[in-house]
Structure 1
Amino acid sequence: MNPSHQKQAANAMKGGEQIFNGFDIVPEVPDGHYYFRSTKSHGTTKTLSKHVMKEWKILEENLPDSIYVRVYENRIDLMRAVIIGAAGTPYHDGLFFFDIKLPSDYPNRPPKVYFYSFGYHLNPNLHNNGLVCLSLLNTWYGNSRERWNPRASTLLQVLVSIQALVLTENPYLNLPHVGGWIGRTMSRAYNEAFFLVTWYVAIKLVNRPPKNFEAFVIQHFRTRSVAVLDSCRECANGRVLVGYYCRNGGGSDGGSSTLRSSNVRVSPYFRNTMVDLYPKLIQTFQSCGADLQGTPKKLELEVIINKKPKKKQVINRRNHENKGEVRKNKTMGGVFKKTVDKIKTVLGWKKKKTSSKQIV
């Protein structure tokens, strides 16, 4: 391998911060890689090597600045990637790691992709057992144009699709046959849960950062810690929609706050859970070397007053249309209860088995 591709910018420093290549080649695959003990692709045939080198070149030249990939000299069939959650989503500023394996007959079959969920359910397409449901991987239904095409599909398309189609503004709407008023209501509740879980995962990543990404993880959360904590306080107090907090000046770690909305409806469950999570984030970011001087060390909940309270509706049960409205209200009550129960399960309020799998 060309040594010029190895850690070109990993040791470069700018303004006290390390600069990381989006694409980099490292000598050996870590034994904690999910597919480390899988059978090595018959590998190193000229055909597979040719396709791998083509994929590496595409990644090196075209990765967006929010996706980072590490590949391995001694196992060209394996790689590891991290995607940074985009603004305007409940995953904003979070980190999401994936281990990838190319089958021996690649590209005739799509790559295998494992998501490090730490036992949490972060998305309808990202399961707590690591399964990634995506049409392009042939793990989710879709028409022929959406599925893996050996002649045209690439690893870059897989990673960009996960970022754009899975880690979205309203991930709950990725479920089939979801929509309408009930879908939007449940989407808001799920966004709160996904936002919380994103930061529970972040704590685990800092405590044990993945191999070849140790410095990247620490620096990422150190530089974005103030914005993340500000976002937690603003969301919990109903001053901004989940995922829509930003800071003036174009950076995640500086400038005054700009709020996208105000007087947002926030569930008591979200507010109370955030009170418990906030000091854990403070401790985690301090371990990354973050300067949190001036940042409140405790999340104080404010009284939320709805500016436009709903008017009480009188329903005439003898009216056929109003009977339909009664049924709708009953249905919504059941939907809300199921949503709350499911969210409690996601966050561990209900007993459930969680994966102890760690990235190393």
Structure 2
Amino acid sequence: MEKKSTFDLVSDDSDHKYHNKNIAGNCFSDTKSAIYKRIMKEWKILEKNLPESIHVKAYERRIDLLRAVIVGAAGTPYHDGLFFFDIQFPENYPNNPPKINYHSFGYRLNPNLYASGKVCLSLVNTWNGKKCEKWDPSNSTLLQVLVSIQALVLNANPFFNEPIYRSVSRSSYEKKSRAYNEDAFVLTCYTVINLIRKPPRNFEDFVKEHFRERGPVLLAACREYANGRVRIGYYNCNEIASSSTKTVIKVKDSLKVSLRNAYCIMYKQFIGCGASLEGFLPVLEIAVQEKRKSKRSNGGNGIFKKVMGKIKSALGLKRKKKKKST
């Protein structure tokens, strides 16, 4: 099968975040200008080196603009989601890094990705990182920015992206990290819903095709997470496939409700994408394992005590209760 291109040219930039930003001069249209040549170099780097999990579209009439989508990686709470970014090369590029805006739909699903669309990252000089982490006009590229977002921002433990938690013992904050992952996955599901309802221009077919294929995975993940069979983020992850445990993970009622609601909406959206959902119900089924366990525990212990009482009595081992003195 022929590999699909991860870099394409399109013409319609009308819904781009930076579409209306005024551009001084003609530096982006002058083919002899230094910035024009640098951007063409960036295009070639992207075309040649983009991984299959990152797709970029550049604009024929506005070479200063690009739009990128990153596929959430397995083993993270962002798995199988799509994360879109609008990018603009500034007029003094590469002296300054590219501007970048995240399509958030109003959700804050990562410490580095704000609900406002701001991307907080040292490499684009929106965070005060070490000098070696900041934008270097001589060596830094847009490809590095995108790969950094995928690997360092949309990672397995985003809770520790917060600067105040980066240097602490991870084990002492494991519970909070897991809770953050739970919220991140639910918000990823709602991001999916919004993307299907209103896909970014020029990516309509890409979004539909992606969720036609990966929609069933997200539904199955909701089912496994809600029933405590897999920890959030690790469904369909090869790293834990061989170390799965029969121990049922305790799932908060609030998380079950959130997953159930997201599942129901996604189910309808994936049907619209043409996904094959055989084996899935329109409503998420959650086993009442904890209640059953509780009933078995309470009822079982009661029956066990009665039986043992009769056995001890028959064997003369059961002590008779002393009568209270009057």
The alignment's TM-score, normalised by the length of structure 2, stands at: 0.82
Aligned partner of 1:353 in structure 2 is none
Cα distance in structure 2, aligned partners of 1:114 and 1:29:
18
**Paired residue total:** 282
Q: Does 1:234 align with 2:234?
A: no
CA distance in 2, matches of 1:296, 1:168: 30
Contact 1:245 1:259 in 2 (8 A): no
Whether contact under 8 Å (2:86, 2:101) holds in the other structure is yes
1:141 matched to 2:114? The reply is no
Q: Does 1:282 align with 2:267?
A: yes
Question: Which residue in the other structure is 1:314 paired with?
Answer: none
| Larger helix percent | 2
Task: String of CA shifts for 1:137-180, please: whole Å, max 9, x gaps.
Answer: 00012110000000000000000000000000000100012133
Q: Are 1:126 and 1:132, in contact at CA under 8 Å, matched by a contact in 2?
A: yes
Matching residue of 2:5: 21
Residue pair 2:67, 2:85 contacting (<8 A) in 1 also: yes
* 1:282-303 Cα deviation digits (max 9, x unpaired): 1000010111122122212223
Out of 6, 9, 21, the residue aligned to residue 38 of structure 1 is 21
| 1:24 alignment partner AA | D
Does residue 1:245 correspond to 2:235, yes or no? yes
Cα displacement (A) at 1:30: 2.0
Relative to structure 1, the CA distance from residue 260 to residue 164 in structure 2 (aligned partners, 3 Å threshold; closer, same or farther) is farther
Aligned residue in 2 for 1:68 = 55
Aligned-residue offset at 1:52:
0.4
Please name the residue that 1:101 is paired with: 88
- The alignment partner of 2:29 has SS state of coil
Question: How far did 1:272 drift?
Answer: 1.2
Helix, strand or coil for the counterpart of 2:151?
A: helix
Gaps of 5+ in 1: 1-13, 249-256, 307-360
Determine which of 207, 211, 234 is the counterpart of 1:217: 207
Give yes or no for contact 1:40–1:77 (8 Å, CA) kept in 2.
no
The code of the aligned residue for 2:15 comes to G
Shift of 1:259: 7.9
SS in structure 1 opposite 2:86? strand
Q: Return the offset for 1:43.
A: 2.1
**Whole-Å Cα distance in 2 between the matches of residues 298 and 203 of structure 1?**
16
1:23 partner letter? F
CA distance, structure 1, for counterparts of residue 87 and residue 243 of structure 2: 37
Q: Which runs of 5+ in 2 are unaligned?
A: 292-326
**Which residue, out of 70, 81, 88, partners 2:75?**
88
Asked if 1:267 corresponds to 2:218, the answer is: no
Contact 1:244 1:260 in 2 (8 A): no
RMSD: 2.1
Structure 1 residue 201 and structure 2 residue 188: aligned? no
Q: How far apart in 2 are the matches of 1:218 and 1:53?
A: 30
Indicate the residue corresponding to 1:188 in structure 2: 178
CA–CA separation in structure 2 for the residues paired with 1:227 and 1:258: 19
After superposition, the C-alpha distances for 1:256-307 in whole angstroms (9 at most, x for unaligned) are x98845422322211111111211111000010111122122212223459x
User: In structure 2, what is the Cα distance between the partners aligned to 1:22 and 1:103?
Assistant: 23
1:155 aligns with 2:139: no
For 2:192 and 2:151, the matched residues in 1 are separated by 20
Q: 1:22 to 1:260 in 2, by over 3 A?
A: farther
TM-aligned CA deviation for residue 242 of structure 1: 1.1
